[in-house]
Copies of this chain bind each other. A is one copy, B any other.
Amino acid sequence: MNLHITNILKDLKNDDFDAYLLTQFTNVEYISNYKPTSFAFCIIKENPIIYASGMDMELAMNNSSIEVREYESFDVMIGDLKEDGVKRLAIEPSLPYSTYIKFKDDFTIDSKTYIDKQRMIKTPEEIKKISQATNIAQKSFLQLDILNNENTEKEVAFDLVRYMIENGAQKESFDTIVTSGANSSLPHAIPESKKLEKPILIDWGCIFEGYCSDNTRTMVYTERQQEIWDIVAEAHYKAIKSIKPGIKCCEVDKVARDIISDYGYGDKFIHSTGHSLGLDIHETPGFSTRDETIIEEGMVITVEPGIYLQGEFGIRLEDTVSISRKGNVIGDLPLDIG
């Protein structure tokens, strides 16, 4: 039985639960090495089991480290659980309401973050995969020759994805953002069919062996753009320097936010300072104003302050930090590409 399961069994025992239901694909993958493609119910108990869909059976049998049974119906699954003595069932916070109500009459239910708690702390092997993803993504970015680029936003985004795949990535880790000119004030802008304007903001990453990378760079061209870039770069640098085990996530957010606020742009920094990543591109904890999680060694969290001036432009800079006794930035791409 793997360590992840052993840990969950301890948590269940402490909280007096009999089983833990996982349905999120990356949670099932984390536990069993099998990533569902349609749906699956993974139930962690003394004898853990995955109910896989018929169309996933071959894949599940090939990859899963724990027992797999073909899903027939809710009734059969609930019957099995009752037969096994399960009365108190822990679920993921993300479980859809429609699934919750199918279990709620037969079990005492509460949501627990046992799995998130484990996924927060990456093993050296997981960190290595995130580093490899980051290296592929950064190398691909440099192939773009962005400064001599006559292409459209869409074409640049497309080239970047192609380079990442050619360099060994499975795919992009989220929809690649290549935005320029006034559109860059939208944090999640969608690349358009127009030639690059200035500044150019690129937010990109890839997946390598299941693990995500995430970076952002903004290339600036005017004094005004440079002025804002410098503020974001200072917030980015000082937030990264502040990261260490033992302090709270919100304290890192405060470092970045205070710098940007001191320059008078506090209300233009319209998102959190960063998020964890791993099998998913957004994991917990994050560097946000409300996240009181204590930073621990093994966490991998991005730092991505930004300033968004509606009608003008936006600037964001993002790196991913692997937290050891002092945080270490993953990858070696300079902040200043210009």
Binding site for B on A (CB under 8 A): 37-38, 53-59, 91-98, 100-101, 111, 154, 158, 162, 165, 170-171, 175, 185-188, 190, 270-271, 308, 310
Are A185 and B58 interface neighbours, CB within 8 A?
yes
> Given A94-B98, A98-B94, A111-B101, A188 and B55 touching (CB < 8 A)?
yes
Determine the chain B residues whose CB is within 8 A of the CB of A96 once the complex forms.
93-97
Determine the chain B residues whose CB is within 8 A of the CB of A188 once the complex forms.
37-38, 55-56, 59
CB distance from A204 to the nearest CB of B (A): 14
Are A111 and B97 interface neighbours, CB within 8 A?
yes
Determine the chain B residues whose CB is within 8 A of the CB of A187 once the complex forms.
37, 55-56
Are A55 and B111 interface neighbours, CB within 8 A?
no
A165: contacting residue among B59, B100, B158, B165, CB under 8 A: B158
A94: contacting residue among B97, B165, B171, B186, CB under 8 A: B97
CB distance from A8 to the nearest CB of B (A): 18
Distance, CA A100 to CA B95, complexed state (A): 10
Are B100 and A97 interface neighbours, CB within 8 A?
yes
A-side interface mostly: mixed
Q: Which residue of chain B lies nearest to A165 when distances are taken between CB atoms in the complex?
A: B158
Distance, CA A59 to CA B186, complexed state (A): 7
* 4 more CB-based (< 8 A) A-B contacts, given A93-B98, A94-B96: A38-B188, A59-B186, A100-B100, A158-B165
Determine the chain B residues whose CB is within 8 A of the CB of A53 once the complex forms.
271
Q: Which residue of chain B lies nearest to A175 when distances are taken between CB atoms in the complex?
A: B171
Determine the chain B residues whose CB is within 8 A of the CB of A58 once the complex forms.
185-186, 308, 310
Are B94 and A111 interface neighbours, CB within 8 A?
no
> Given A58-B186, A96-B93, A97-B95, A158 and B162 touching (CB < 8 A)?
yes
Determine the chain B residues whose CB is within 8 A of the CB of A57 once the complex forms.
270
Determine the chain B residues whose CB is within 8 A of the CB of A38 once the complex forms.
188, 271
Are B270 and A55 interface neighbours, CB within 8 A?
yes
Determine the chain B residues whose CB is within 8 A of the CB of A186 once the complex forms.
58-59
Q: Which residue of chain B lies nearest to A176 when distances are taken between CB atoms in the complex?
A: B171
CB distance from A164 to the nearest CB of B (A): 11
Determine the chain B residues whose CB is within 8 A of the CB of A95 once the complex forms.
96-97
Distance, CA A270 to CA B70, complexed state (A): 11
| 11 A–B pairs (Cβ distance < 8 Å), ordered by A | A38-B188, A55-B188, A56-B187, A59-B188, A92-B97, A95-B96, A97-B100, A98-B111, A100-B100, A154-B165, A162-B162
